[in-house]
Amino acid sequence: MNAVLKSEASTGTSLAALAAWVQEVAALTQPDAVHWCDGSDAENRKLLETMQADGSLIPLNPDTHPGCWLHRSHPDDVARVEHLTFVCTRESTAAGANNHWMAPAEAHAKMDALFTGCMRGRTLYVVPYCMGPIDSPLARCGVEITDSPYVVVNMRIMTRMGTPALRRIEQEGTFVRGLHSLGELDPERRFIMHFPEELTIKSYGSGYGGNALLGKKCHALRLASWQAREEGWLAEHMLILGIENPQGEVHYIAAAFPSACGKTNLAMLVPPQAYREAGWKVWTVGDDICWMRPGPDGKLWAINPEAGYFGVAPGTSARSNPNALTMIQRDTIYTNVALTADKQPWWEGLDDRVPALDWRGRVYDPANGPAAHPNARFTVSARQCPSWSPRSEDAGGVPISAIVFGGRRASTIPLVFEARDWAHGVFVGATMASETTAAATGQVGLVRRDPMAMKPFCGYDFAEYFAHWLSFDTAGAQLPKIFHVNWFRKDAEGNFLWPGFGENLRVLEWIIDRVEGRVEARDAGPGLMPVEGGIRAGEDMSAATIERALQVDAGDWEREFADQTLSWGQARKTAVPA
């Protein structure tokens, strides 16, 4: 067996370091076979057929959802496991209080014990991938070794995977090493370890996307944020969208939101009818991750390192996100959704049909809880989005005109405000927050800070992270203006003041006008805010309603600012994690 594995490993690549690593992993994990993935259509078809045969993928209705599949994960393996996710640096202070830390030697020993012999009876897949356009100097490459064909077919959608990525890796000679195994899918034997100083990831015991698709959060945020600090760029949990006005001018906006704040909906926004008729367009570059680097012109230029969307299905509908619903009607992998009697995917918030089977494959019974798991997902190529921007493939990226932070707040925080300068904007991002819901925590209205929406994903100490952001404010820099939005302000009766969805373009229009210097702003407590009439009213809102959404109560803001300042001070303290 070892001789066969050695031969296959040595012929899979011309890069000696990669061949040696694959051989080393094969000797540790002892698979029955080694397969080097080329990313071809033929390879993908074979993997899909194999999973259909063993029941791990279920074909959906070919008439309504051609090329679509359903995967049901283990009931105990349905989400990220942040309490089992570690950053393993030589010094604990480098990981920061925002991460769980383990010494590298201890972490390697723990993981290698789990990996020993774990691929017996399975195939070891070598998955070369590129995060970003294959010819982009902003892109970074990696290789994931996995024993999960489900991971392989998802990585093919989510990254530029296969032979072109391998050729770039061989040319550059460097790559992120990711080792993953399903193991026994035992929650007691599940860990995700990051070794940023070694550009290495080890994940065991989970098949869930965020834990198993190592190019996504593990590489593109936790390790990339470390790389970005070392190399002078930013790896952020942000969408990227382009807004084209009737004159054909396009401004690109990067925006960060915690969960349940409408991030994907904003990335694929459909303009209100009056805006569409006037010639406004929205272009989707990315819905989740943004890598930004200063260009020769002093501006920040950004790429979306991903090639697909790993989106949350529940709540996606023709009203909330028509573009997302359109793109997932074909060639999509669904995970943990429900099924109708005619094998169409279904989830809460989609429509008023009653499903036949729930996400576990049981006959649907409301007594068992939601039909689809609340974290049910779809994996789909970005190119299938009706608003997909061809500039997503630009090697140099797109220039960022504005950065937007946002959270879910029922009161206190106004609809929109602009930071006074870059340092103030960093403070705004570092202190952004959302209020919890009963569904999430059992408590309502508890304010939770999530700096830059990076709390689970920053691969190093937050104090150093904020300092890195501040370091971009140098002579000659033409940095984006920074804004904060809150679509979720409520009135005394608990009704939303702002209609949201496509109407959010009215706020983005004001942001672009501020970037262009076309409108004035008034200086208020939070920052620079629209003057009366600065945001265009529409059929669903009056000028008076807009003003209520913009209102700032002096007492409320003083208390908010005091809490922000306390949170900022606590976040900047470098402490040894427990």
Looking at the annotation, which residues are catalytic? 261
**Pairing mode of beta strands 140-146, 58-59:** unpaired
177 known member of a binding site: no
> What is the bridge-based pairing of β-strands 308-312 and 239-244?
unpaired
321 is in an annotated binding site: no
475 is in an annotated binding site: no
Q: Is 391 labelled a binding residue?
A: no
Q: What's the CA gap between 337 and 319, in Å, rounded?
A: 19
The pair of three-digit structure tokens given for residue 307, joined into one six-digit string = 């090639």
Helix (H, G, I), strand (E, B) or coil at 286: strand
- Say whether 49 counts as a known binding-site residue: no
Cβ neighbourhood burial of 26 (10 Å; 0-12, 13-18, 19+): buried
Report the distance separating Cα 69 and Cα 85, nearest Å.
Answer: 29
Residue 392 sits at the vertex; the CA angle it makes with 388 and 393, to the nearest 5 degrees, is 125
Is 263 known to sit in a ligand binding site?
A: yes
Q: Is 471 annotated as a binding residue?
A: no
Q: Which two tokens stand for residue 186?
A: 């035992």
503 assigned to a ligand binding site? yes
Report whether 209 belongs to an annotated binding site: yes
DSSP track, 502-528: GGGHHHHHHHHHHHHT-S-EEE-SSSE
Work out the burial of residue 195: count CB atoms within 10 Å of its CB; fewer than 13 is exposed, 13-18 middle, 19 or more buried: buried
Q: Does residue 288 have a known ligand-binding role?
A: yes
Q: Is 490 annotated as a binding residue?
A: no
504 among annotated binding-site residues: yes
**Residue 281 annotated as binding?**
no
Say whether 323 counts as a known binding-site residue: no
Long-range residue pairs from 55-63, CB within 8 A, at least 24 positions apart, any chain: 56/149, 56/150, 57/150, 57/333, 58/343, 59/343, 60/334, 60/339, 60/343, 60/344, 60/345, 61/342, 61/343, 61/344
**Binding residue per annotation — 208?**
yes
CA 406, 409, 412, 415 torsion-angle sign? positive
Cβ atoms 237, 225 nearer than 8 A: no
Determine whether the annotation assigns residue 80 to a binding site.
Answer: yes
Q: Is 210 annotated as a binding residue?
A: yes
List CB contacts of 263: < 8 A, sequence separation 6 or more: 239, 255, 257, 287, 288
The reply to whether 217 sits in an annotated binding site is yes
Q: How far apart are CA 68 and CA 334, in angstroms?
A: 7
* Feature table: binding site for substrate: 80, 208-210, 259, 375-377
Q: Binding site membership for GTP: which residues?
A: 260-265, 377, 408, 501-504
Annotated binding-site positions: 80, 208-210, 217, 237, 259-265, 288, 375-377, 408, 501-504
Annotated binding site for Mn(2+): 217, 237, 288
